[in-house]
Amino acid sequence: MLLQGSARHSRLCLDSGAMATGDINREQVIRAGLNYERVQSHQERILEVLSSGRETTLPVVGACTTSNGAVIPWKTLIRFAEGERLTTAQRRARRAAFHYWCRQHLGTFIPAAGAASRFMASLERFIQDVNQQVPEVGECCRRWYRNEQSSENIANRSKRLDSLSALATVQLASDIKVIPQLLEDWKKTEIFKEYEVLSHALETYFADGRETELQVNSEAAAKNQITSQDHLLDNAHWRIHWDTEISANSRADHDKQAGRDVHWLDALQSQPPAEARSQNKRLRRDLTEKEKLGLRCYASAFVLIEKYRGHPKALVPTTGEGDSFLFLKLVEQIALLPSAISVYVAPFQQTGKFKTEIEYGRQKIIRQAQNVFDLGGTQFAPDWLKPAPQNHTAQSVVLEQGLDLCTLRFNEDGTPVSNDDGSYSSVAAGHGELLNLFPDIAAQWPNLECLHIRNIDNVVGTQQERQQELCAVAETFRLLRDTLEFLRAEVEDFLPHCRASNNNDKLKNDQVVTALKFLSQLIPGTAQNQIFPAAVESEARIQGLTAEIFQRVLSNLFHWQPLPEKLTLFSKWDWLQQQLSRPLSVFGVVRKEIGDVGGGPVFAQLPDGKHVKICLEMPHASKEDAQEYFGNKGRATHFNPVLVFFELRTHQRSHTASPRSGRIVQPSQLFDEHFWLLARKDFLGRKVCYHETVLYELIGNSARTNVLFVEVPRTLFRPHKTLLDSLGQDRRSYGFDETLKGED
């Protein structure tokens, strides 16, 4: 089969002159819904890497830590945000101004296009292991789910019952063993009921060796065989009848008479005739506790996978009350850090489902809010509490990570991979491509100045402590941005005077000196006294600031490159203005603990020899560097951006005619030939590669942005990498009990 596939691909290449040379066909790319110019640049980079044989990894030269000033300690951030010398009245006024800014000029951006398949990878592996060693288990479950009648007779089945002993040889990982127990905490959910019935059916089948209890409507079975997977997972299809006084047989007859399908759960609960029970007595065998545990683990994993495979992670339940990640994020947006808009990025062709969940969530929030008056001024307020039409109300918007943000798969020789029908094979190009949505967001909402980026699976709750912690980071960002905007405007105004008089190389403005002194509070104390000592500050207030002093302060904060040598006075200030023009990024990072593995803030070396501060992903580091810095007990002290604040537009203070317009940050300012990965994967039995970018690397490196890493408490970091992180959780354990009522 592989040879035939290769031959077919070769014929396709020879049939197209463009493909024979490795060039991509513009019409085919556009027909596939992709951006031709973007895909073309991807192929050029891939061809260059393949021809040179180099890797797309970046050598790590050091870790960003609080001791070297590359990560701002949490206590320093708190002092900076609260203002040590402010009076109570001044702090109250600043807090009011901050909340007004959030509701008017801050947007929240939540990537939510990730699929649940990775979320359940450990369950998939367990299912595969059992299916290989005890295939009978998987065959039974698949038949019951699809209402298929077994053609196997009891005699043949009895010979295979002993194969269940092989289940005892399957290694049950510690995280798999606890799934049935964790599901017990989800007794109110539909998924638990389905697991309970399937688990009981498996134990009965393998103990008694009988399947005569299955009563399947052959018409329904034929229909279900051609039903799509989405329909099989539809809630309306999973009809469970509990606590009924009608016997299972009479219920099945009643359903048939009423023209309804007999569902597998209904059939499994029916009792076999007395004759069948007597025949099966000789087939009965008691199951060991380990076999029972194995069947329960399999039943729970099977139901969870069948239920949520192919779903976006955002729509998967994560509490015992059945709340999805998306619903909890809606609640957090109300209580934690209100903003002008919340933008959710949905997977391709999933926008409708996201909007439905948001509308359903609105009704749920109104019904279950601890204090409905807290919803005032939000989109979730009941009709009688909605503000006047002229008042601004926050809203939720769903954008789609569509085909235009995808790229092509390429063969190892750089030619595009083709499907059987000759069309190009597309693949998601990484969430770094979401940068292309930022200009559209800025253009559609002219008042937005910045974005607060949060992960959909980081659930922290709505307790007052979390509000205070998150607001401290947001307030730090706002103060930094206001100060940078002031400096941008002052340097921009100074440049014409500097050009006119080459001898006047000093910027005489006492407020600029105060602004630099204010920013220097974020530099470690010992370094602060060396970089901007009192004597230099006093001289700068009298005689003016030189470009060297200006650069020295901000370079130690944002880790700029050294000021180039042999520049004219004007060129020095012009260079400083270019550095200031970069968008501001503030990354909240958490301190690593024993057992934590993952990328984080480090210093890396670019191919031209320059060192940059960057939030590096593990795949972008060599195996040696990944182990040394990002592995368990690695040298990196912090990892994983918990939250990010990023400028959408800059230089608003310079645009006096239309101050809110500013300069919209364009993706071309951030995309760089250094910050991308050559992803190598298996696709249909052959090796392929494609261009992939990472959002946090593109907006979190000192070569393209003014990035600042700030330490945040671990209480703001509660990611969900697997489904096991959600099982057993409820609203109270997450910290939503102050906002939402529990369900009876």
Residue 555 lies in a domain: no
Q: Look at residue 600 and give its three-state secondary structure.
A: strand
Joined tokens for residue 543:
């005689």
Residue 164 lies in a domain: yes
Q: Which of 85-89, 102-106, 180-184 holds the top average pLDDT? A: 102-106
Beta partners for residue 108, in sequence order: 342, 452
Q: Which residue has the higher pLDDT, 413 or 584?
A: 584
pLDDT tens figures, 49-60: 998 888 899 999
Nearest to 533 by CA among 708, 490, 523, 510: 523
Supply the DSSP string of 441-482, one letter for each residue. HHHH-TT--EEEEE-TT------HHHHHHHHHHHHHHHHHHH
Question: Structural domain of residue 134, as residue ranges?
Answer: 121-308
Question: Stretch 474-492: mean pLDDT, rounded?
Answer: 94
Nearest to 660 by CA among 670, 649, 647: 649
Nearest to 598 by CA among 459, 455, 464: 455
pLDDT tens figures, 372-386: 888 877 778 887 877
pLDDT above 70 covers a percentage of the chain that reads 81
Residue 399 above 50 pLDDT?
yes
Residue 689: pLDDT band (50, 70, 90) is very high
Residue 160 above 90 pLDDT?
no
- How many other CB atoms are found less than 10 A from the CB of residue 106? 24
What is the pLDDT, as a whole number, of residue 228? Answer: 34
Question: Stretch 593-608: mean pLDDT, rounded?
Answer: 89
DSSP 324: B
What is the pLDDT, as a whole number, of residue 208? Answer: 67
Residue 15: pLDDT band (50, 70, 90) is very low
pLDDT tens figures, 223-255: 333 333 333 333 322 222 223 333 344 444 544
- Which residues are CB-neighbours of 643 under 8 A, at least 6 positions away? 452, 453, 454, 458, 470, 473, 587, 588, 712, 716
What is the pLDDT, as a whole number, of residue 285? Answer: 66
How far is it, in rounded angstroms, from Cα 342 to Cα 357?
14
How far is it, in rounded angstroms, from Cα 492 to Cα 654?
8
Q: Which of 118-127, 383-392, 699-708 holds the top average pLDDT? A: 699-708
- Which residues are CB-neighbours of 159 under 8 A, at least 6 positions away? none
What is the pLDDT, as a whole number, of residue 248? Answer: 41
Average pLDDT of every residue of the chain: 80
Question: Stretch 200-220: mean pLDDT, rounded?
Answer: 56
Joined tokens for residue 37:
């110019």
Q: Which residue has the higher pLDDT, 13 or 178?
A: 178
What is the pLDDT, as a whole number, of residue 222? Answer: 37
Residue 705 above 90 pLDDT?
yes
How far is it, in rounded angstroms, from Cα 627 to Cα 445?
43
Q: Look at residue 504 and give its three-state secondary structure.
A: coil
What is the pLDDT, as a whole number, of residue 163? Answer: 59
What is the pLDDT, as a whole number, of residue 227? Answer: 36
Nearest to 459 by CA among 686, 717, 237: 717
What is the pLDDT, as a whole number, of residue 215? Answer: 34
What is the pLDDT, as a whole number, of residue 209? Answer: 56
What is the pairing mode between strands 71-72 and 706-711? parallel
What is the pLDDT, as a whole number, of residue 282? Answer: 46
What is the pLDDT, as a whole number, of residue 385? Answer: 79
Of 213-227, 310-324, 455-469, 691-705, the poorest mean pLDDT is in 213-227
Q: Phi and psi (nearest 5°) for 354? A: -65, -45
- Which residues are CB-neighbours of 505 under 8 A, at least 6 positions away? 498, 546, 547, 569, 572, 573
Residue 598 lies in a domain: no
What is the pLDDT, as a whole number, of residue 657? Answer: 60
Question: Stretch 726-741: mean pLDDT, rounded?
Answer: 88
Nearest to 614 by CA among 76, 77, 57: 57
Q: Which residue has the higher pLDDT, 231 or 610?
A: 610
What is the pLDDT, as a whole number, of residue 161? Answer: 56
DSSP 242: -
pLDDT tens figures, 713-725: 999 999 888 888 8
Nearest to 736 by CA among 327, 339, 341, 395: 327
Residue 250 lies in a domain: yes
Joined tokens for residue 249:
């047989």
Question: Stretch 305-332: mean pLDDT, rounded?
Answer: 89
Q: What's the number of domains the chain is made of?
A: 1
Q: Phi and psi (nearest 5°) for 565? A: -85, 165
Residue 472 above 60 pLDDT?
yes
Joined tokens for residue 358:
């948001």
Residue 22: pLDDT band (50, 70, 90) is low
Supply the DSSP string of 502-560, one letter for each residue. TT---B--HHHHHHHHHHGGGS-HHHHHHHS-HHHHHHHHHH-B-HHHHHHHHHHHH-P
Residue 698 lies in a domain: no
Of 14-28, 504-518, 603-617, the poorest mean pLDDT is in 14-28
Question: Stretch 501-522: mean pLDDT, rounded?
Answer: 86
Residue 127 lies in a domain: yes
What is the pLDDT, as a whole number, of residue 176? Answer: 85
- Which residues are CB-neighbours of 673 under 8 A, at least 6 positions away? 45
Distances (CA, A) of 201 to 124, 151, 278, 686: 21, 18, 18, 40
- Which residues are CB-neighbours of 146 under 8 A, at least 6 positions away? 221, 224, 225, 232, 264
Residue 248 lies in a domain: yes
Check: CB of residue 366 under 8 Å from CB of residue 334. no
pLDDT tens figures, 61-95: 999 999 999 999 999 999 998 877 778 888 888 88
Question: Taking the chain, what is the end-to-end CA distance rounded to the nearest angstrom?
Answer: 56
Nearest to 345 by CA among 180, 108, 128: 108
Residue 198 lies in a domain: yes
Residue 738 above 90 pLDDT?
no
Compute the radius of gyration of the chain from its Cα atoms: 30
Question: Stretch 28-52: mean pLDDT, rounded?
Answer: 91
